[in-house]
């Protein structure tokens, strides 16, 4: 049985409105964590819509469950001061093909017609080759494949090139932070370290010993995801080439000396807000 190719689909647009409460906001600007979780679900829902499914459970031709795992995310926040309790945010979302079995969703957040932030998420389908072992996760082909309009930007291509470079870099052992062990709530329903948890760990790394920018809202953040970890595995952060704007996360398996790079982050923050 070969994968089923869907009929040609447009960019799968969606417009929703969300009134801002405590969960949606940070002390300044929007809550990046909440919005990543919400838009991650929107991303999966749009894929399901594109292939005519009512649920976000995806399978390959053998019936094995697949997951839409994120390869890269980008967050840009232009007007954090406009994000206030009670304000209604209009969320413009669309889904596009990013080539090489990747799917990209774009999300623009507006208040009273003014853009306050935007997100770009790129995913590919993966599956566990060995049940419960995250190191065995590999790319997989879903039985139902959406046929989408191509992305109108080169974000996925540039992110893939960055990921390729990061995988080949050894990193700087001289600038490391305190080891951190993610807990159960950092993982998602299938046992993978959830992609918003990477963002939180990156912030813990960035602010270790640094307080001057702690409350400044994010202006721009890009993350490329390279690997995942097992429950109980330690994570160590390292500033890439001595810059506090570029951070690597490394995983250290408890039963092996071999480390591996998990993700790379580029981040800048607003000043004086």
Which CATH number goes with the domain that contains 49? 3.10.129.10
Which structural domain range is residue 183 located in? 4-269
Higher pLDDT, 101 or 9: 101
Predicted local confidence at residue 181, as pLDDT: 83
**pLDDT over threshold 50, residue 8:** no
Percent helix, strand, coil in the chain (nearest 5)? 20, 40, 35
Most confident of 64-73, 171-180, 183-192, 206-215: 64-73
Number of domains, the chain: 1
Report, as an integer, the average pLDDT of 157-181: 77
CA count, 13 A, side-chain hemisphere, 245: 8
**pLDDT over threshold 60, residue 256:** no
* CB 3, CB 62: distance < 8 Å: no
- Quote the pTM value: 0.90
Condensed to tens digits (0 to 9), the pLDDT of residues 21-47 reads 999 999 999 999 999 999 999 999 999
Radius of gyration of the chain (CA): 19
Beta strand ranges found along the chain (DSSP E): 4-9, 14-19, 58-59, 65-77, 88-99, 102-111, 114-128, 137-139, 144-148, 218-225, 234-239, 246-252, 260-269
Predicted local confidence at residue 169, as pLDDT: 73
Predicted local confidence at residue 105, as pLDDT: 97
């Amino acid at each position: 049985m070969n994968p089923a190719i869907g009929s040609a689909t447009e960019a799968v647009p969606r417009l929703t409105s969300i009134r801002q409460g405590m969960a949606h906001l940070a002390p300044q600007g929007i809550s990046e964590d909440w919005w990543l979780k919400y838009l991650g679900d929107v991303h999966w829902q749009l894929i399901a819509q594109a292939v005519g499914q009512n649920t976000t459970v995806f399978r390959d031709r053998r019936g094995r469950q697949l997951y839409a795992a994120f390869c890269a995310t980008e967050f840009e926040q232009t007007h954090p001061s406009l994000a206030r309790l009670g304000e209604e945010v209009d969320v413009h979302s669309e889904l596009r093909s990013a080539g090489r079995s990747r799917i990209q969703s774009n999300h623009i957040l507006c208040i009273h017609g003014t853009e306050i932030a935007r997100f770009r998420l790129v995913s590919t389908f993966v599956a566990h080759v060995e049940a419960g072992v995250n190191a065995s996760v590999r790319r997989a082909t879903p039985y139902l494949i959406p046929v989408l309009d191509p992305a109108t930007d080169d974000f996925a291509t540039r992110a893939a090139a960055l990921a390729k470079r990061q995988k080949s870099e050894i990193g700087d052992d001289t600038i490391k932070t305190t080891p951190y062990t993610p807990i159960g709530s950092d993982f998602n329903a299938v046992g993978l370290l959830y992609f918003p948890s990477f963002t939180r760990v990156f912030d813990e790394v960035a602010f270790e010993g640094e307080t001057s920018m702690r409350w400044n809202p994010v202006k721009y953040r890009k993350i490329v995801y390279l690997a995942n970890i097992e429950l109980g595995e330690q994570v160590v952060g390292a500033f890439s080439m001595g810059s506090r704007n570029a951070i690597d996360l490394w995983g250290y398996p408890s039963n092996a000396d071999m480390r591996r790079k998990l993700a790379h982050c580029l981040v800048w923050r607003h000043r004086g807000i």
